Structures are given as C-alpha cells and as structure tokens.
C-alpha cells in the first residue's frame, strides 16, 4: 500500500476513516483495471453514486473533481463508482460488495481491514449501465426576471411567461 498517497488523502479529507479507505481502494482498482492516472483535465470521468467520505480520496488520487466537471454525482446512495477514460473509451463500474460481519470491529480495525484487502475481494466489477457523460459545457448566463441573479440557461425555467432561476421557480411551486 502507498502510505504516502494515503497520508495525502487523509490530509485533504481531514481525518482517517473506513469511508475514505473505501474510496482509496476504489482508486487502486481503477488504476489496476483501467490504467487511470491523475487527470489534469477531463481525460478521466468518475460518476459517484454517493457523496460520502470516499469521494475525497477519489478527488486526490484520480483528479476527478467537481470543479473540473469530471466528478459527477448520481445519487443512488450506493457505494459504487464508475470510471470512464475518454482516450481509450474504457469504462468500469466498481461496486462495494456487501460487507462481511464487521459489527465486532472497531472503526480503526475496519479501516485497516479495508486497506489490507485485495480489491477483488472488496469490489465487484461491472459495466456501467449509463454512457460517458458529455464534456462539461459552458452555458449562456440568463438574468432571472424575478430575483435578478444570473444563472446558466440550462437551469432557467419558464414561469408566468418569465425566465426564472430554480430558487424562484421553487418558491412558486412551494417545494413541490
């Protein structure tokens, strides 16, 4: 195990925990199975199905970040991460297997057990059942006709013949 890389993840995340260890191992699998390396731009894309601790390891190791638009959140709540490589077209969905009996383990023991497990034991490897998301796009900014704030046009709604932002649209529908 790459201790230096683990320390880097812990430093970014703020603490060490089993969740971070899961993300760390998912990266190890993505590197091993897909040859993923640190993305300076959008050459790798990760679709994560949860917004828990593990994502921080993914951002540090693979360079898939919210800011670059190559970390996409798809909220099924599962411990599943799909990696796509734009250069080779390869894709892989990495899904955590239901955990063995870890109830009697402390947090530290659980974290250590995850870090020491072979990736094949921890995860199932599948084909993603969705396609590579298109590259991050830039949209025109539209000024909301209700609150006056600017928003990208893909987030603008039509209400009462006015172009409005999602905040104002929600106000109107009373949170549906």
**Element of type H or E holding 120:** helix 119-122
Site for Zn ion contains 144 (CB under 5 A): yes
> CA 21 → CA 51, 72, 124, distances in Å?
14, 20, 16
Site for Zn ion contains 168 (CB under 5 A): yes
Site for Zn ion contains 21 (CB under 5 A): no
Out of 43, 146, 157, 172, the residue judged to bind Zn ion by CB under 5 A: 146
Out of 17, 34, 47, 92, the residue judged to bind Zn ion by CB under 5 A: 17
C-alpha–C-alpha distance, residues 111 and 4, integer Å: 16
Out of 2, 116, 147, 153, the residue judged to bind Zn ion by CB under 5 A: 147
Site for Zn ion contains 53 (CB under 5 A): yes
Kind of pairing between the strands at 123-126 and 91-96:
antiparallel
Instruction: Please say which residue, 66 or 147, places its beta carbon nearer to Zn ion.
Output: 147
> CA 61 → CA 12, 46, 76, 90, 145, distances in Å?
11, 12, 23, 18, 42
Strand-pairing partners, residue 72, are 47
Kind of pairing between the strands at 44-48 and 71-73:
parallel
Binding mask 94-133 for Zn ion (x = CB under 5 A): ----------------------------------------
**Given the rule CB under 5 A, which of 3-11, 121-129, 130-138, 144-152 is the region that contacts Zn ion?**
144-152
**Given the rule CB under 5 A, which of 22-30, 73-81, 123-131, 142-150 is the region that contacts Zn ion?**
142-150
**Given the rule CB under 5 A, which of 18-26, 68-76, 101-109, 131-139 is the region that contacts Zn ion?**
18-26
28 burial level (CB within 10 Å; 0-12, 13-18, 19+): buried
Interaction site with Zn ion (CB under 5 A): 17, 19, 53, 144, 146-147, 165, 168
């Amino acid at each position: 195990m790459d201790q230096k890389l683990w320390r880097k993840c812990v430093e970014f995340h703020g603490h060490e925990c089993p969740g971070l260890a899961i993300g760390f191992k998912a990266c190890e699998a993505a590197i091993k199975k897909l040859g993923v390396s640190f993305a300076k731009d959008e050459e790798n894309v990760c679709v994560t199905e949860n917004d828990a601790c593990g994502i921080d390891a993914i951002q540090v190791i693979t360079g898939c970040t919210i800011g670059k638009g190559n970390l996409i959140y798809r909220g099924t709540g599962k411990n599943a991460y799909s990696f796509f490589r734009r250069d080779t077209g390869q894709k892989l969905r990495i899904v955590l297997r239901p955990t063995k009996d870890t109830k009697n383990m402390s947090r530290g023991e659980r974290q250590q057990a995850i870090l020491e497990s072979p990736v094949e034991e921890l995860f199932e490897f599948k084909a993603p059942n969705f396609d590579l998301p298109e590259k991050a796009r830039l949209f025109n900014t539209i000024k909301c006709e209700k609150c006056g704030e600017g928003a990208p046009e893909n987030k603008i709604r039509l209400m009462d013949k006015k172009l409005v932002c999602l905040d104002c649209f929600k106000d109107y529908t009373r949170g549906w």
